[in-house]
A and B are shown apart, each in its own frame.
Chain A
Amino acid sequence: MVLVLAIGDLHIPHRAPDLPPKFKSMLVPGKIQHIICTGNLCVKEVHDYFKSLCPDLHVTRGEFDEDSRYPENKTLTIGQFKLGICHGHQVIPWGDLDSLAMLQRQLDVDILVTGHTHQFKAYKHEGGVVINPGSATGAYSSFTYDVNPSFVLMDIDGLRVVVYVYELIDGEVKVDKIDFKKTATTRSAQ
């Protein structure tokens, strides 16, 4: 069991003062093995906070991030899964799942984690899974009027990944889960 936190679009301090207290109390150091951050933290303070939760932190650049040295996208392997991260403002049309699928093909990953729209999504297509953890602070989004704070926790176990989405709705944390299984097809590029 490997726990991967997928989180992003906090927009601290531009659009939100802080993570919701209920989320903060859930995120404790030592429980999570990897953190994948889609971007738009936006300041070093948030980076340091994530680092304190888990030293294996991967961040990609959002368009409001203070630190311009974050990469545009990143890939990593966790267990049997190849994961890709990209904030998503680079993929036009924004939030378009087919276009994101193209990026997924390009990065050649099983799971693509992306953000920008502040809407939670977990979408399975022929090439894999696209996950958008939403905005952890419920920050203002030009994309949608209805933003609940949310983040995702992935439990990677062999060829199976269970995606837990945590949403703060009317002051209560609601959890939902989705199962994905990877078919063990060998896809060696010739």
Chain B
Amino acid sequence: MMLNGAEDEEKWLAEGIAGIQHNAFYMHRALDSNNLREALKYSAQMLSELRTSKLSPHKYYDLYMRAFDELRKLEIFFKDEGKHGVSVVDLYELVQHAGNILPRLYLLCTVGSVYIKSKEAPAKEVLKDLVEMCRGVQHPLRGLFLRSYLAQVSRDKLPDIGSEYEGDADTVMDAVEFVLQNFTEMNKLWVRMQHQGPGRLREKREKERNELRDLVGKNLHVLSQIEGVDLEMYKETVLPRVLEQVVNCKDDLSQYYLMDCIIQVFPDEYHLQTLETLLGACPQLQPTVDIKTVLSRLMDRLSNYAASSADVLPEFLQVEAFAKLSNAIGKVIEAQVDMPAVGAITLYVSLLTFTLRVHPDRLDYVDLVLGACVKKLSSIPKLDDSRATKQVVALLSAPLEKYNDIVTALTLSNYPRVMDHLDNGTNKVMAMVIIQSIMKNNTCISTVDKVEVLFELIKGLIKDTDGADVDELDEEDFKDEQNAVARLIHMLYNNEPEEMLKIICTVRKHTMAGGPKRLPFTVPSLVFSALRLIRQLQGQEGDIVGEEVPATPKKIFQLLNQIIEDLSNVPSPELALRLSLQCAEAANDCDLEHVAYEFFTQAFVLYEEEIADSKAQVTAIHLIIGTLQRMNVFGVENRDTLTHKATGYSARLLKKPDQCRAVYACSHLFWVDDQDGIKDGERVLLCLKRALRIANAAQQMANVARGSSGPVTLFVEILNKYLYFFEKGNQQITGAAIQGLIELINTEKQNDSATPDSASDAFLASTMRYIQFQRQKGGIMGR
């Protein structure tokens, strides 16, 4: 059925075009022979093709354009009185004898154009006559094109100021009046189209109407181009008249299009000065009009206008643009109860963008907009429309981008309330945006209050929120989030130790709520934050501030103890051990023997009771030994206790090679190179000998297991240690001992029937070279 219709239309169009071409041919002949009568006859016949009702707007336009082109030639002929001998006044009368009204009026407009050009009558009179005569055609499609023709030919002949057709007083008014009238009539015709034909074809009609809308809108464009239309005239006449038609036509398609047209076509300064009038029309429009889009576009335009130059900003203040716009939006949202969430929020986003551009210093305005949005969000049960969610994120991101300083956003009281309305997933995304903004701008958050607000904003990351589905948690995302929080902690800083300690306590309070999943990520950052504070306090020795007990290293160490204890719930013993050792070193630097001892005890407990994996044990014991080696705060008794424990655990590691290495590492516990350091040569040697015994045992085990001894690497390592202490001046290590060890190594190598181990061979070789080099240097290595 449809296909037939389309085919038919093609046929009719073809017929129409053929008709035009046919008559045009004869018309041209008449023009060439200066035959006015014939010209009029054939042109009227040609124009009769436009009387058709069978074509859609798109095809009618095709026909119209062909006629239009032909009429241009006719106009040239009309203009040349010499050719046809009839005065333009008479011509104007003559063409009205044409049989049918549509051709008659097209011809009349064409002559009218010539008439105005001739200046034999004031432009305003001719135009007035034409615009009224066109009433004769009430068919919507035909009427629209006819009046469009009138608009086209009259365009350059309006009695504007400075135009050659300028009349006497009120000349601009005449031009405006003409265009307004044409506009009004065209809109009426356009609206009438909506009600033509059966209800089931409504969609088709609307589509066709949309194709024609620019014909109507063109008039507004013409109005904006009239020089004589200044702000005053726009305000007093043009806008009220246009709005009157817009409101009265009660057609939502027309209203939406024309409101948008007004906004796009007239200058932004005009809109600012007529804001009240313009906005006042909004509630009067049909409820089905998408007024929010209109308002959004208006605000976008005004935002751009504000951004274009700083000079225009005072104007905004003078007309109280913000107040007017936010009131208008409020009214619209209130009136349109069925407006979906995304619509309302989009409006607020536009208003916020406007506010940030025009009044960036007015944080109270920004907060107001957020507050209005909260109110709207509170009225809907749940935000589950993804587009609406996107808009909320846009709303929240705008202040961050504008101010480049999260601290400003933190002062907006409604900001966290907006975030509360996001679903968990989006809330977390927003929290990440906030953190990234801080990181990117290197912002420092320096007071407890701001830290509290910040953690309120990112609470979706800090802890499990009610109703959060734990199964949904993507592990990668979770890690990213927690690492982001960990990095954030370093941005929370105040130079003032008291405040800084309060900040640390606040952060601890919040991160504790995160539970065992999150603590391994956040605790390290907090610990090092605290250790840095301790260092700072060390540097500020002797400053006792007032009567209040100041932040002291001791207090902070107590706190650190508790923080590391928190990890036991995870459990995270390896991390806890490492952090305990860090604290021990820091306590050492503060000369707090007891505190350092406690941290070591803690580390040993963790080692004994919770670190079971053999590889982890090896690393852990080396960390303990390495840290202990650097301690200078311990008295003899404490040091001995700890050293004894370390060596004991070293000897009890699972694998013999590991035992060996840990034990010879312990040798350094008895020799510290600085001037006050312990230098117990005997115990060093005891350690090395013990290591040697273990290495021997390892060799024997390898022998039993594989039928040949293993690589001699361990022996070479121990040899290197002998050399080390020998050079340091340990009297207990003799050249003979070294020599003996070298011989032992060589013997073991010979006994090794398996393929030679190039690594241990190379090691031995380089060690021998080292010995050689030292000998040549002279000094201690005499032999």
| A140 touching B528, Cβ below 8 Å | yes
With A63-B619, A99-B724 in contact, is A14–B528 under 8 Å at CB?
yes
Contact with A along B285-322 (1 / 0, CB 8 A): 00000000000000000000000000000000000000
With A15-B528, A142-B585, A189-B762 in contact, is A94–B535 under 8 Å at CB?
no
| B486 touching A14, Cβ below 8 Å | yes
Contact of A126 among B623, B673, B761, B773 (CB under 8 A): B773
A15 to B773, CA, bound (A): 42
Minimum CB–CB distance for A171 against chain B, Å: 12
Q: In this assembly, does A47 line the interface, its C-beta being within 8 Å of a C-beta of chain B?
A: no
With A93-B629, A108-B762 in contact, is A13–B486 under 8 Å at CB?
yes
Q: In this assembly, does B525 line the interface, its C-beta being within 8 Å of a C-beta of chain A?
A: yes
Q: In this assembly, does B167 line the interface, its C-beta being within 8 Å of a C-beta of chain A?
A: no
With A14-B525, A102-B717 in contact, is A92–B766 under 8 Å at CB?
no
With A93-B629, A127-B769 in contact, is A12–B487 under 8 Å at CB?
yes
A101 to B479, CA, bound (A): 38
Contact with A along B750-772 (1 / 0, CB 8 A): 00000000110111011101100
Contacts of B484 in A (CB 8 A): 13
Minimum CB–CB distance for A134 against chain B, Å: 17
| A108 touching B763, Cβ below 8 Å | yes
Q: In this assembly, does B626 line the interface, its C-beta being within 8 Å of a C-beta of chain A?
A: yes
| B622 touching A92, Cβ below 8 Å | yes
Contact with B along A14-52 (1 / 0, CB 8 A): 111110010000000000000000000001110000000
| B623 touching A63, Cβ below 8 Å | yes
Among B520-569, those with CB < 8 Å from A are: 521, 524-525, 528, 531-532, 535
Q: In this assembly, does B578 line the interface, its C-beta being within 8 Å of a C-beta of chain A?
A: yes
Contact with B along A98-112 (1 / 0, CB 8 A): 110110011010000
With A17-B439, A102-B717 in contact, is A63–B578 under 8 Å at CB?
yes
| A145 touching B535, Cβ below 8 Å | yes
A189 to B672, CA, bound (A): 35
A89 to B620, CA, bound (A): 10
A125 to B348, CA, bound (A): 70
Contacts of A190 in B (CB 8 A): 761, 765
Q: In this assembly, does A80 line the interface, its C-beta being within 8 Å of a C-beta of chain B?
A: no
Minimum CB–CB distance for A79 against chain B, Å: 20
Contact of B483 among A11, A45, A92, A127 (CB under 8 A): A45
Q: Which of B488, B716, B765 is packed against the most chain A CB atoms within 10 Å?
A: B765
> Which residue of chain B lies nearest to A142 when distances are taken between CB atoms in the complex?
B585
| A126 touching B665, Cβ below 8 Å | no
Q: Which of A11, A44, A126 is packed against the most chain B CB atoms within 10 Å?
A: A126
Number of interface residues of A (CB under 8 A): 35
Q: In this assembly, does A64 line the interface, its C-beta being within 8 Å of a C-beta of chain B?
A: yes
Contact of B630 among A14, A93, A108 (CB under 8 A): A93
> Which residue of chain B lies nearest to A21 when distances are taken between CB atoms in the complex?
B442
A126 to B480, CA, bound (A): 46
Q: In this assembly, does B397 line the interface, its C-beta being within 8 Å of a C-beta of chain A?
A: no
A113 to B765, CA, bound (A): 21
A185 to B612, CA, bound (A): 47
Q: In this assembly, does B414 line the interface, its C-beta being within 8 Å of a C-beta of chain A?
A: no
Among B702-750, those with CB < 8 Å from A are: 713, 716-717, 720-721, 724, 727
| A127 touching B528, Cβ below 8 Å | no
Contacts of A189 in B (CB 8 A): 758, 761-762, 765
Minimum CB–CB distance for B137 against chain A, Å: 70
> Which residue of chain A lies nearest to B713 when distances are taken between CB atoms in the complex?
A106
> Which residue of chain A lies nearest to B628 when distances are taken between CB atoms in the complex?
A92
| B766 touching A18, Cβ below 8 Å | no
> Which residue of chain A lies nearest to B535 when distances are taken between CB atoms in the complex?
A145
A89 to B524, CA, bound (A): 18
Contacts of B716 in A (CB 8 A): 106
Contacts of B151 in A (CB 8 A): none
Minimum CB–CB distance for B511 against chain A, Å: 13
Q: In this assembly, does B153 line the interface, its C-beta being within 8 Å of a C-beta of chain A?
A: no
Q: In this assembly, does B582 line the interface, its C-beta being within 8 Å of a C-beta of chain A?
A: yes
Contact of A187 among B486, B625, B665, B765 (CB under 8 A): B765
| A94 touching B765, Cβ below 8 Å | no
With A14-B525, A17-B439, A108-B759 in contact, is A127–B622 under 8 Å at CB?
no
Contacts of B139 in A (CB 8 A): none
A162 to B486, CA, bound (A): 37
Q: In this assembly, does B491 line the interface, its C-beta being within 8 Å of a C-beta of chain A?
A: yes
| A98 touching B483, Cβ below 8 Å | no
A44 to B478, CA, bound (A): 13
| A14 touching B532, Cβ below 8 Å | no
Among A157-190, those with CB < 8 Å from B are: 187, 189-190
A127 to B586, CA, bound (A): 35
Q: In this assembly, does B37 line the interface, its C-beta being within 8 Å of a C-beta of chain A?
A: no
Minimum CB–CB distance for A106 against chain B, Å: 5
| B486 touching A127, Cβ below 8 Å | no
| B487 touching A106, Cβ below 8 Å | no
| A140 touching B491, Cβ below 8 Å | no
Contact of A43 among B483, B582, B622, B763 (CB under 8 A): B483
A89 to B761, CA, bound (A): 25
Contacts of A106 in B (CB 8 A): 713, 716-717, 720, 763
Among A71-121, those with CB < 8 Å from B are: 89-90, 92-94, 96, 98-99, 101-102, 105-106, 108
| A98 touching B724, Cβ below 8 Å | yes
With A127-B770, A189-B761 in contact, is A93–B490 under 8 Å at CB?
no
With A90-B622, A93-B626 in contact, is A13–B765 under 8 Å at CB?
no
Q: In this assembly, does B668 line the interface, its C-beta being within 8 Å of a C-beta of chain A?
A: yes
With A12-B487, A18-B487, A99-B724 in contact, is A127–B766 under 8 Å at CB?
yes
> Which residue of chain B lies nearest to A98 when distances are taken between CB atoms in the complex?
B724
| A89 touching B767, Cβ below 8 Å | no
| A17 touching B626, Cβ below 8 Å | no
A3 to B484, CA, bound (A): 32
Minimum CB–CB distance for B523 against chain A, Å: 9
With A43-B483, A108-B763, A189-B765 in contact, is A94–B578 under 8 Å at CB?
no
Contacts of A105 in B (CB 8 A): 720, 763, 766-767, 770
Minimum CB–CB distance for A47 against chain B, Å: 12
Contacts of A17 in B (CB 8 A): 439, 487-488, 490-491
A21 to B582, CA, bound (A): 28
| A92 touching B758, Cβ below 8 Å | no
Contacts of B622 in A (CB 8 A): 89-90, 92
A65 to B697, CA, bound (A): 34
Other than the given A14-B486, A90-B622, A105-B770, 13 more pairs (CB < 8 A) read A12-B487, A13-B487, A13-B521, A16-B490, A63-B623, A92-B668, A99-B724, A105-B763, A105-B766, A126-B773, A127-B769, A140-B528, A140-B531
* B contact residues vs A (CB 8 Å cutoff): 439, 442, 479-480, 483-484, 486-488, 490-491, 521, 524-525, 528, 531-532, 535, 578, 582, 585-586, 619, 622-623, 625-627, 629-630, 665, 668, 672-673, 713, 716-717, 720-721, 724, 727, 758-759, 761-763, 765-767, 769-770, 773
User: What are 17 residue pairs bridging A and B, where the CB atoms are less than 8 Å apart in the complex?
Assistant: A14-B525, A14-B528, A15-B524, A16-B490, A21-B442, A43-B483, A89-B623, A92-B622, A92-B629, A92-B665, A93-B673, A105-B720, A106-B763, A126-B770, A142-B627, A187-B765, A189-B758
The 8 tightest CB contacts between A and B, nearest first, are A13-B486, A14-B524, A142-B585, A105-B766, A17-B487, A13-B487, A108-B762, A102-B720
